[in-house]
Amino acid sequence: MNQPLVGRTIVITRAAKQSEDFVQALESYGAHVLSCPTIEIRDPDSFDRLDEAIDHLYGYDWIIFTSANAVEFFLRRLVHQKREASDLDELKVCAIGTATADKLRAAQVHADLTPVTAKAEGVFDALTEFVGGVQKLENLNVLLPRAAAARDYLPRTLEAAGARVDIVTAYQTAIPADLDRGRLSAMLAGSADCIAFTSSSTVRNLALLFDTHDLSRVLKDLTIACIGDVTAATAKEYGLSVDIQPTNFNVCELARAIADHYQGK
């Protein structure tokens, strides 16, 4: 394989337990990868709302998963509640993107809908087309298991169209307790060429760590890569100029976009 990232050091901020595919993809292009997760995925403070939704699955028309994390934590709780993945067969299932759909497929859950554009706007547009128009969204009962903190675009637009949306917390994100700011500072001030952000939370948490709303000085001279336009918009809010963004929003495409950026340099 062509290795345009030989001699390049890429810092990744993805959660440690979820970074293997990203690391492997970058290394396949010859990169030296420094993993410094600014995010950790944890259980929610309470499972009460999620358990209640699982107990009443028959009341929903659709369940929408907006991340692979949502799939993992939802299915784990489903099993805890003595239910099976096959209980989702009676619902229509939407996966926001291919990684989320793959997670469902591994659990033998069929995704009826996977939008072309892996973001909330893409979900709304694809769902609207699937059901036959905005007017057909009225009175649909939708279950949305997701992170404790997430964008409100999807539930807001669905509710505006007349759907009933139950938002339940399946997991939460936090700054890793063992994150060493001094080590991170040394990394960023050292030989790193590029830093890659895979969610808005990875950007925000880095800003929190350095107690700043302007990351441009912290990340001075580093190339900024973002997995998609939502993350890129957050990066811009924190003073960053985004240099790299893939067309398809997944880590393998992000690794490829980084490689393409350095090709021939």
CATH: 3.40.50.800, 3.40.50.2300, 3.40.50.10090, 3.90.226.10. Which one for 48-171? Answer: 3.40.50.10090
HSE value, Cβ hemisphere, 13 Å, CA-based, for 6: 5
In angstroms, the CA 125 to CA 35 distance is 35
Mean pLDDT of the 192-199 span: 95
pTM: 0.83
Which pair of structure tokens corresponds to residue 122? Answer: 């893409």
Whether residue 74 has pLDDT greater than 70: yes
pLDDT score for 1:
64
Decide which of 110 and 148 is more confident. Answer: 110
Domain ranges of the chain: 9-39+176-262, 48-171
pLDDT score for 183:
75
Q: How far is CA 160 from CA 153, 157, 167, 175, in A?
A: 10, 5, 15, 34
pLDDT score for 6:
95
Whether residue 223 has pLDDT greater than 90: yes
57-73 pLDDT, tens digit per residue, is 999 999 999 999 999 99
Mean pLDDT of the 115-144 span: 95
Which pair of structure tokens corresponds to residue 222? Answer: 């580093």
Torsion of CA 113, 115, 121, 124, to 10 degrees: -30
Say if residues 265 and 223 touch (Cβ distance below 8 Å). Answer: no
Selection from 155, 122, 151, 120 nearest residue 141 by Cα: 155
Decide which of 150 and 21 is more confident. Answer: 21
CATH assignment, 9-39+176-262: 3.40.50.10090
Q: Which of 78-82, 131-135, 180-184, 211-215 has the lowest mean pLDDT?
A: 180-184
In angstroms, the CA 200 to CA 231 distance is 5
